[in-house]
Homo-oligomer: A and B are copies of this chain.
């Protein structure tokens, strides 16, 4: 059970409410009269809680679970314990996410501006925003409705933030325009100068960086990630893209919709990342490349060429993931032969 020190649970819900929330079909034991009061993993669930099965590694935990209700794919329905009600769906993890959101909803911002915030007279703040202590908002910045701006966050002149955004503490936003429903975690830096210099034997001359960072709807950006503004063109993060912690995104990078960028990835200047591409942890992408839609870049890959849509690559320099894995096996075998 989530610690009551930090979390307060909503509900309870009956099976029909849960089916609506989960967009799932009721099956298994009849529990129409019962109320369920929380979510829990299979091995910790009780008759009062809702769990889910999404990975066949956990089928044994499922067959032994005491969960009152379990969200599963119907393929596993015949393995359910007799005492369990079922919610059938082809997407159990999505369904569980919706149920968990119902038990642990985001609390809407209260309409409160801390007396310890410093807000420029020319800044516009929407309705029903929470602005925490130590926040500083510059001239002509605009913040939409129902936003939260976390403690000691700095919003520079001219920045635009849409509706329903959740900006956590100690964030820096500059030279950026942010759409709706965006979550920005603590310590994120957006809009600082890109790393642009005219290099030469007499030293490196700073090139003014004259673009913006544009962040579309439903983006989430992890803690301490850095996104530089463009040189003239903009740096762009497409709608629905999720970015993890400590990621570096250089000037003029354009990321499509619903991409997934895992922790400590680095994307060099002017590279384009397609919709639904997945960049696993610590991967590095050279500048001026095109990574196609749905491409999958393995962890620690070093990508030095364009990657076609849908291709899976690994290694450094990165190549087709099967070729890469075969090369690692080839080298292993050759090295063992040498030993004998």
Residues of A within 8 A of B (CB): 2-3, 5-7, 39-41, 91, 93-94, 96-98, 100-101, 103-104, 114, 116, 118, 132-134, 136, 140, 150-152, 154, 156-158, 160, 168-170, 172, 174-175, 183, 185-187, 189, 192-193, 195, 197-201, 203-208, 210-212, 218, 220, 222-224, 226, 228, 232-233, 240, 242, 244-246, 248, 250, 258, 260, 262-264, 266, 268, 276, 281-282, 284, 286, 299-300, 302, 316-317, 319, 323, 326-328, 330-335, 338-339
Residues of B within 8 A of A232 (CB): 2, 39-41
User: A39 CA to B209 CA in the complex, in Å?
Assistant: 12
Residues of B within 8 A of A240 (CB): 203-204
- A208 & B101 in contact (Cβ 8 Å cutoff): yes
A and B contact pairs by CB, cutoff 8 A, 5 listed: A39-B210, A91-B198, A94-B198, A136-B169, A150-B154
How would you classify the secondary structure of chain A's contact residues: helix, strand, loop or mixed?
loop
- Residue from B114, B154, B246 within 8 A of A246 (CB atoms): B246
Q: Across the interface, name the chain B residue whose C-beta is closest to A268.
A: B281
- A7 & B91 in contact (Cβ 8 Å cutoff): no
Report, nearest first, the 4 A-B pairs whose CB atoms are least far apart: A189-B223, A2-B210, A172-B186, A330-B335
- A198 & B323 in contact (Cβ 8 Å cutoff): no
Residues of B within 8 A of A156 (CB): 169
- A264 & B263 in contact (Cβ 8 Å cutoff): no
- B286 & A158 in contact (Cβ 8 Å cutoff): no
Given contacts A136-B151, A197-B242, 4 further A-B contacts (CB under 8 A): A94-B200, A114-B118, A116-B136, A299-B302
